[in-house]
Amino acid sequence: MQTTTLAQDKWRPSPRKKQEIEAEISLLDKLSTHIPPTSAFGDSNANALDTQLAVLQGRLTYDEVRARFEDDVIDQYVFFLAREAFAWLYEAGFAPSEDWLIMLHGDYESRLVN
């Protein structure tokens, strides 16, 4: 079975520079120690964050994410956040870390950068 990434589906390369992707991975790694393991609704923040990291690190293709999470009602949260990571990589939109920073009340980013 041939797999495709969202970028291949769109027939264009990722507009993100390697340094941008590495910076986002680093920030997500730092955030991972501060994010509660589950959301207020019982969804797995830990699994969602790990999946976003796997997407950014190139360890999961778009097809693999779809196959693993798309039809699973319990994992719709993970699927949604993984799709956001792909959208940031290959299209436009918010960086995956932005949702987590908002969850941590906004000023967290300045403490991580310093």
pLDDT value of position 1? 46
Mean pLDDT taken over the chain: 82
What is this structure's pTM? 0.80
Give the type of residue at 41. F
Backbone angles phi, psi at 44, to 5 degrees: -85, 100
Residue 111 CA to residue 114 CA, distance in Å, equals 5
Residue 97, CB-side half-sphere exposure with 13 Å CA sphere: 21
pLDDT in tens, 36-91: 999 888 999 999 999 999 999 989 888 899 898 888 877 899 999 999 999 999 88
